[in-house]
A and B are shown apart, each in its own frame.
Chain A
Amino acid sequence: MLELKDVHTYYGNIHALKGISLTVNDGEIVTLIGSNGAGKSTTLRTIQGLNKPRSGSVVLNGIELHKLPAHEIAMLGVAQSPEGRMIFPRMTVMENLEMGAYVRKDLTSFNDDLEHVFSLFPRLKERVTQKGGTLSGGEQQMLAMGRALMAKPKILLLDEPSMGLAPLLVELIFDTIKKLNQEGTTILLVEQNALMALSIAHRGYVLQTGEIILSDSAQNLKNDEMVQKSYLGVE
């Protein structure tokens, strides 16, 4: 479904992605793990068109995304729940969710989708009239995910959904990701919490300083000695 081929992305002179190639198949959860600065978020930003690759290609169902501006990529069904959430702070929860549905031409199922988001995140329903910026961190994360879901994406990019959240909330978010996948959404998940990510993903890639150093099924990665040592904290 989504295929990156030898993608090189730069920030000015800094070579952030040094030839990333990865694929995400329909219906999968694929996770990208790696330490700080490995290029995980840059990969997602490159897919979304917020950073343009200097060479290489990003192809979604035969369409070359690297040639399109960000808003057109969003129109094609790529939704991201960004790192640091990037919700609209002065809009209400409801308005934020409505913005999520901006890309959709067909709004007949809008109310059903809204109910669906509220059933996943009941906390959002309690807060519909509240401003996004006044929500707690966990609620903002839920809102960012809910907003991405309102776009009815073909592929959902999740950037650090567990960042800065309490352990119980992390579990809730990961349960939700699993649930979403079972409902048919393809997910590319970027995580520092490698254990959690590998326990729900089908496949995984390990990123190190802009290069993919390992790729395998999630189960195998979990048992890999290097991964265990570097990312799972097993001595």
Chain B
Amino acid sequence: MKNIRSGITFGIVGGLLTFLFGGWSVAVIGSLMGVGLGMVIIGKLERKNPMQIALSVLPTALVAGSILVLFSLYQNNFVQEAIGKRPAAVNIVLYGNLIGFLGAVLFTTLLAGMHGLPAKQEQQWRMILLAMLVVAFPFIDKLTALRWTAQIIFALIFVILGLGLNIVVGYAGLLDLGYAAFFAIGAYTTGMLSSGAHNIHINFWLVIWIAAAMAAIWGFMLGAPTLPLRGDYLAIVTLGFGEIVPVLFKNLINVTIKEPFTCWILPMFKIQTTCKVFVENFDLTLGEKGISPIGRPWFPFFGNLPTNVNTIHGQWAIGSKWLYIGEFESSNPITWYFLIIAIILLSVFVIRRLRDSRLGRSWMAIREDELAAAQMGIDPVKTKLAAFALGATFSGFAGAFYAAYISGIFPSVFDFSASIIILCVVILGGIGNINGVIVGGLVLMTADRLFLPALKDFLASLLTHTILPSISDPVVQLAVKDNANPILYRFLLFGLTLVIMMAVRPEGLIPNPQNRAELHAEEEAPVVEAETPKTKKAKKG
């Protein structure tokens, strides 16, 4: 019965989403909904024969699929009209809904059926299924003309950032409120070394490593002064760094470096020297204008040779012309999508190895109790610096990718709100849990990038076509029109999400088992027992 309820919830949420996107979206939403529903309900199922489990969830799947299709049909016949669009063509409606329905039912039952397999096999098959979906997604997206991939890529950038921050906050327990600083350092390193700003054009495949190394070095340097600090004090200092870095990038537009000895100290004693100037009035970061365009990755195996290759990429292109077979273009998000998926896979692999290593254990010991950890022989200095540096490394990757993908960077992107959004990703997903952070990043950023703009368009057309004509008072009409823009309430919604999460599910969507045990101790059987001589005796006897 509980499963049916999840089915109804999923059906309604999926159905409402079709309101925003319309057309083919029902097919994609149906399939994704099936996967989500399957993942959610298998946790509550017992392991038995795969066929039996699949059949037992079939009613749930059918209910979810039917609700979705009902909403979608309603959308097509009534809502489209209300927002001033014509209903989609019959064949899109027919096939879209059919695929959506079947996708929902198929994936729910498939995932449930897999639960009947032994745990390890189930895990493998689930990974295979997810991998297939991840690979198929951008192509389906292109076929159905939904144009979601470009926005999903933003979500994936924040997934990497979340994974990096998770090392610092989740594993080592160091609250970092200025993590976007490292994102900025990664992006600006890429921007400066791979653009016309200083006429340096280093290959993206190389510059991404330089950016990561740069972020790591700064992570190390910014970590060092915070070592004696704990808790709130540490958070405040990192907050300061987070503020300083974007301001620096904004203002490093007139850099002059003189040698102090010949320029200031000797003249003080009235000694005549020629002042040695290293750099004068040098525009390092181009300030508010930002750096643009930024070089893009290219791949030897795809695409056609651009005709203007030498002019775009300067000297680096000349010697390696044969490599110039395909450049990543903003019009084609698929290549970018697979690039960032590859970076995420690499990051997840490395972070998992780190977590299970000796270093990972010392992070967790430091998080639990720093003094006790020192007594165990753990060097708190090295351990914390490693957390800062490694955490920053991943934001270096994200920064390099971001700079190349947008092909332009501006200091305002990396301000405090970016740090907070990354922290929200980690908290929403589940502190200390890799899968949780991935889900958190996807949910939060797709909501921000995909859902809110779509909702804005939807509301705007709904207002102009249905609601506004029925309001007679022009003042009210204007007020409604101006305020019905959900993007205005972006941060309000972020805040609300956090408040609700903390109240309802403080351990995150997919919690780290340790946190769950702690926060829901009263729900599980209490294990603390009073030690009295009596019970002790009884046990002996």
Interface residues of chain A, those whose CB is within 8 Å of chain B, are 48-50, 69-72, 74-75, 79-80, 82, 86-91, 95, 98-100, 102-103, 130-131, 133-139, 147, 151, 165-169
Contact = CB atoms under 8 A, between A and B. Distances in A.
The B interface, classified by DSSP as helix, strand, loop or mixed, is helix
Contact of A71 (B380, B527, B528, B530): B380
A50 B368 contact: no
A177 to B, nearest CB: 19
B369 A166 contact: no
B536 A71 contact: no
B514 A90 contact: yes
Q: Which of B364, B374, B531 has the most CB of A within 10 A?
A: B531
A71 B531 contact: no
A138 B374 contact: no
B361 A151 contact: no
Given A49-B374, A74-B375, A91-B368, 8 more contacts: A80-B375, A90-B368, A91-B365, A136-B530, A138-B531, A151-B377, A165-B531, A168-B533
Interface string B334-359: 00000000000000000000000010
B51 interface: no
A168 B372 contact: no
A99 B376 contact: yes
Contacts of A169: 531, 536
Interface of B: 358, 361-362, 364-365, 368-369, 371-380, 514-515, 517-518, 521, 527-533, 536-537
B372 A86 contact: yes
Contact of B528 (A49, A134, A165, A167): A134
Contacts, number: 95
- Which 6 A-B pairs have CB atoms at the shortest separation, nearest pair first? A103-B377, A74-B377, A70-B374, A88-B368, A86-B372, A136-B531
A50 B374 contact: yes
Nearest to A86: B372
B375 A88 contact: no
A213 B514 CA distance: 48
A152 B533 CA distance: 31
A80 B371 CA distance: 12
Nearest to B527: A134
Given A74-B374, A82-B375, A131-B514, A99 B380 contact: no
Given A50-B375, A75-B377, A151-B376, A99 B365 contact: yes
Nearest to A164: B531
Nearest to A136: B531
Contact of A168 (B369, B374, B536): B536
A88 B377 contact: no
B533 A88 contact: no
Contact of A130 (B362, B527, B537): B527
B379 A90 contact: no
23 contacts: A70-B371, A71-B378, A79-B375, A80-B375, A82-B372, A86-B369, A88-B364, A88-B368, A90-B518, A99-B361, A99-B376, A102-B361, A102-B378, A103-B376, A134-B528, A136-B529, A136-B531, A138-B531, A151-B376, A166-B531, A168-B536, A168-B537, A169-B531
